[in-house]
C-alpha cells in the first residue's frame, strides 16, 4: 500500500476525502485512478490532457519528482503538492 | 415584492448580493466556490440553478452549480475537455456561460463551446467551429493574445432554439441556425485597424448583446468602436461618435427599449481603465446617434476603474436596475436608468462578471 498525502485544496471538493490515505496501486496513474473511482472528478483536478500531471501540481514518490508512469513500491510515500504560487 | 439577486464572479470566488424589488438595501454573501477564480456566474431562469465558470491554476477548469441560490455548490468538469492526446489543443479555461432552451453552454480556451443537458453535471463538446475562415490558425501559439484565444460568449436567440451567435476572440462573430452544425461569419461592416487576410474574419468583438424587444437589434462593444446591427448581425454600422474612447468591454441593452444601450468606455492602452480617473457609464437613447455621460454618484477623481466584458448587467423590472462591477472590487447600481448611482459593495476581489436575476 502506498501512502498518499494530498493538498488541502482538494478536500472541500470531495466529501470525506482525507488528507492522508493508503492506496493499493502499481503506478502514480493507477493510484489517481483508484481515487477517481471513489471520488469522481478527482483525476481531473490533478491531470490534464496528454495525460500529464497538471503544471502547477507536483507529485513526489519517496521524495523524488514523479510522473504518471512512476512505479510505486509496497510502502512508497506519495506527496501531491500544489504549487506555492498565486496572490 | 420580487427578490433581486446579483451574482458577482471574482478572482477569489463567487459573491451574491440580495435585495428586494426596491433595490435600496443590499446584503452580501460569499465567497462561494472555494474562492476559485470565477469568470462568469449566471442564473438559469428555467431551472432556478446558479452556475459559475471557474479555472484554478492548480486544479484546472470546471463549472460550479448550485440549486439552492448559492448556499451549497458542486463542481464538475466531466466531459469538459478536448481529446487526451498530445498535440491536440488543451482546455485552459472556461469562461462565458449561457443558459438557454434547457441547456447550458460554456465557452472555452482553446476555442470551443461545450454543452450540458443535465444541469452542469456532465458536458460534451458542442462545436469548435471547424471549417471557418482561418480556423486552422486559431490554435497556433504565434496567434495567441495574452491569456489565450478563446470563445468567451454564446448569444442565444430567445425563440429559435437552434440559433446562436458565437464570439471568437480576435476573430469575430459566427452565427449558427442549425444548432452548431454549420456557422457563418457575421462581421460585415465592422472595422479592423490591422491588416486582414480575409475580410470576413479578424475582428475583435468584446461584448455582444441583443435587445429583448427586437431580436434583430444587436449591439457590440468592439476593440475598435461601438457597432449596431438591425438585421440580426448580417450587417453592422459604427456608432462610436460621441463617446470619449472607442474601446471598452462591457455593454448592456435596455430590457424595454431597443434604442437604449449602455457602455463603459475605457482607455485603450495598457491601463484599460476609465478615462482621466473619472468614473462614468455612457448611455444612448437613440440607438447610438448620440451619447450621454452618466456620472452622478460615481467617483470623479482618482477612480482608475476597469470593467470587463461580463462586468455590467441590467435587470428586467419596469424601472430596470443597472449594475457594474470593477477590477478594484466595487459594485455600483442605478435604479433610475443610469442617471444616478450607488456603491452597493466595496472591497471585493477583482470582479470578472456581474449578472442579475429577478425572482
pLDDT single digits (tens) A16-42: 999 999 999 999 999 999 999 999 999
Residue B136 has pLDDT above 70, yes or no: yes
Q: Which residue has the cell 462581421?
A: B187
Chain B residue closest to A56 (CA)? B58
- For an interface test with B, give the residue of A7, A33, A42, A45 to mutate (most B CBs within 10 A): A45
Between chain A and chain B, how many beta carbons pairs sit less than 8 Å apart? 54
Name the grid cell of A48: 490534464
Does B175 sit behind a cis peptide bond, omega within 30 degrees of 0 on the bond before it?
no
Contact B34 A12 (CB under 8 A): yes
Is residue B300 within 8 Å of residue B326, measured between CB atoms?
Answer: no
Distance from CA of A45 to the nearest CA of B (A): 4
CA separation for the pair B85, A50 (Å, rounded): 5
Residue B146 has pLDDT above 70, yes or no: no
- Residues in chain A whose Cβ is within 8 Å of chain B: 7, 9-10, 12-13, 40-41, 44-46, 48-51, 54, 56-57, 82-83, 85-86
Contact B82 A54 (CB under 8 A): no
User: Which of A9, A40, A41 lies closest to B58 in CB terms?
Assistant: A9
CA separation for the pair B194, B35 (Å, rounded): 39
What value does the mean pLDDT take over residues B69-75?
97
Is residue B224 within 8 Å of residue B193, measured between CB atoms?
Answer: yes
Alpha-carbon torsion angle B65, B70, B74, B75, nearest 10: 60
Structure confidence at residue B147 as a pLDDT band (50, 70, 90) = low
Chain A residues with beta carbon closer than 8 angstroms to that of B85: 49-50
**Burial of residue B264, with CB atoms counted within 10 A of its CB: 0-12 exposed, 13-18 middle, 19 or more buried:** buried
Contact A44 B84 (CB under 8 A): no
CA separation for the pair B359, B347 (Å, rounded): 26
Is residue B174 within 8 Å of residue B168, measured between CB atoms?
Answer: yes
Name the grid cell of B326: 470593477
Contact A12 B83 (CB under 8 A): no
Distance from CA of A51 to the nearest CA of B (A): 6
Does A85 sit behind a cis peptide bond, omega within 30 degrees of 0 on the bond before it?
no
The helix/strand/coil state of A37 is helix
Distance from CA of B59 to the nearest CA of A (A): 4
User: Which of B57, B60, B90 lies closest to A86 in CB terms?
Assistant: B57
Question: How is residue A44 annotated by DSSP?
Answer: H
pLDDT at A39: 97
Contact B34 A83 (CB under 8 A): no
CA separation for the pair B174, B5 (Å, rounded): 31
The helix/strand/coil state of B141 is helix
CATH number for the domain formed by residue range(s) A2-82: 3.10.20.30
β-strand A77-82 against B342-345: which pairing, if any? unpaired
Q: Percentage of chain A surpassing pLDDT 70? A: 100
Residue B87 has pLDDT above 90, yes or no: no
Q: B148: closest CA among B112, B198, B186?
A: B112
Report pLDDT digits (tens) over B250-274: 999 999 999 999 999 999 988 999 9
User: Which of A12, A41, A51 lies closest to B84 in CB terms?
Assistant: A51
Distance from CA of B76 to the nearest CA of A (A): 7
What value does the mean pLDDT take over residues B184-208?
95
Residue B86 has pLDDT above 80, yes or no: no
What value does the mean pLDDT take over residues B158-175?
97
CA separation for the pair B141, B151 (Å, rounded): 16
Q: Who has greater pLDDT, B136 or B350?
A: B350
| pTM as predicted | 0.96
pLDDT at B148: 72
pLDDT at B134: 87
What value does the mean pLDDT take over residues B41-55?
97
Report pLDDT digits (tens) over A40-51: 999 999 999 889
Q: B99: closest CA among B166, B39, B170, B48?
A: B48
pLDDT at B137: 86
Q: Which of A30-39, B139-148, B267-276, B321-330 has the lowest mean pLDDT?
A: B139-148
| CB hemisphere CA count around B54 (13 angstroms) | 33
Name the residue ranges covered by the structural domains of chain A: 2-82
Chain A residues with beta carbon closer than 8 angstroms to that of B90: 48-49
Contact A56 B57 (CB under 8 A): yes
Amino acid at each position: 500500500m502506498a501512502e498518499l498525502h494530498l493538498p488541502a485544496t482538494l478536500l472541500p471538493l470531495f466529501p470525506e476525502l482525507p488528507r492522508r490515505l493508503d492506496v493499493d496501486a502499481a503506478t502514480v496513474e493507477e493510484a489517481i485512478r483508484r481515487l477517481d473511482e471513489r471520488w469522481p472528478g478527482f483525476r481531473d483536478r490533478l491531470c490534464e490532457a496528454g495525460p500529464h500531471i497538471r503544471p502547477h501540481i507536483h507529485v513526489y514518490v519517496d521524495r523524488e519528482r514523479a510522473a504518471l508512469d512512476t512505479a510505486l513500491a509496497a510502502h512508497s510515500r506519495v506527496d501531491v503538492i500544489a504549487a506555492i504560487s498565486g496572490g | 415584492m420580487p427578490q433581486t439577486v446579483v451574482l458577482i464572479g471574482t478572482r477569489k470566488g463567487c459573491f451574491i448580493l440580495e435585495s428586494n424589488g426596491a433595490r435600496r438595501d443590499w446584503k452580501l454573501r460569499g465567497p462561494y466556490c472555494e474562492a476559485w477564480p470565477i469568470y462568469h456566474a449566471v442564473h438559469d431562469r428555467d431551472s432556478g440553478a446558479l452556475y459559475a465558470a471557474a479555472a484554478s491554476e492548480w486544479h484546472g477548469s470546471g463549472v460550479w452549480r448550485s440549486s439552492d441560490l448559492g448556499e451549497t455548490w458542486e463542481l464538475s468538469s466531466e466531459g469538459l475537455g478536448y481529446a487526451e492526446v498530445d498535440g491536440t489543443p488543451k482546455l485552459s479555461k472556461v469562461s462565458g456561460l449561457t443558459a438557454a432552451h434547457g441547456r447550458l453552454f460554456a465557452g472555452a480556451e482553446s476555442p470551443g463551446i461545450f454543452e450540458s443537458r443535465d444541469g452542469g453535471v456532465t458536458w460534451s463538446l458542442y462545436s469548435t467551429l471547424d471549417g471557418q475562415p482561418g480556423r486552422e490558425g486559431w490554435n497556433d501559439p504565434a496567434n495567441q493574445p495574452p491569456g489565450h484565444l478563446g470563445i468567451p460568449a454564446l448569444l442565444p436567440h430567445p425563440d429559435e432554439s437552434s440559433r446562436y451567435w458565437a464570439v471568437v476572440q480576435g476573430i469575430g462573430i459566427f452565427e449558427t441556425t442549425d444548432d452548431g452544425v454549420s456557422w457563418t461569419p457575421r462581421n460585415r461592416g465592422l472595422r479592423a485597424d490591422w491588416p486582414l487576410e480575409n475580410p470576413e474574419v479578424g475582428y475583435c468583438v468584446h461584448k455582444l448583446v441583443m435587445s429583448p424587444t427586437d431580436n434583430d437589434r444587436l449591439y457590440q462593444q468592439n476593440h475598435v468602436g461601438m457597432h449596431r446591427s438591425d438585421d440580426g448581425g448580417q450587417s453592422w454600422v459604427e456608432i462610436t461618435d460621441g463617446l470619449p474612447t472607442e474601446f471598452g468591454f462591457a455593454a448592456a441593452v435596455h430590457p424595454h427599449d431597443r434604442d437604449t444601450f449602455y457602455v463603459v468606455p475605457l482607455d485603450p492602452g495598457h491601463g484599460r481603465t476609465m478615462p482621466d480617473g473619472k468614473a462614468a457609464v455612457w448611455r444612448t437613447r437613440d440607438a447610438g446617434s448620440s451619447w450621454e455621460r452618466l456620472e452622478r454618484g460615481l467617483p470623479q477623481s482618482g477612480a482608475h476603474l476597469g470593467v470587463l466584458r461580463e462586468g455590467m448587467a441590467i435587470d428586467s423590472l419596469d424601472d430596470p436596475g443597472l449594475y457594474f462591477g470593477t477590477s478594484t472590487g466595487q459594485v455600483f447600481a442605478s435604479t433610475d436608468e443610469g442617471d444616478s448611482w450607488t456603491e452597493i459593495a466595496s472591497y471585493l476581489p477583482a470582479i470578472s462578471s456581474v449578472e442579475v436575476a429577478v425572482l
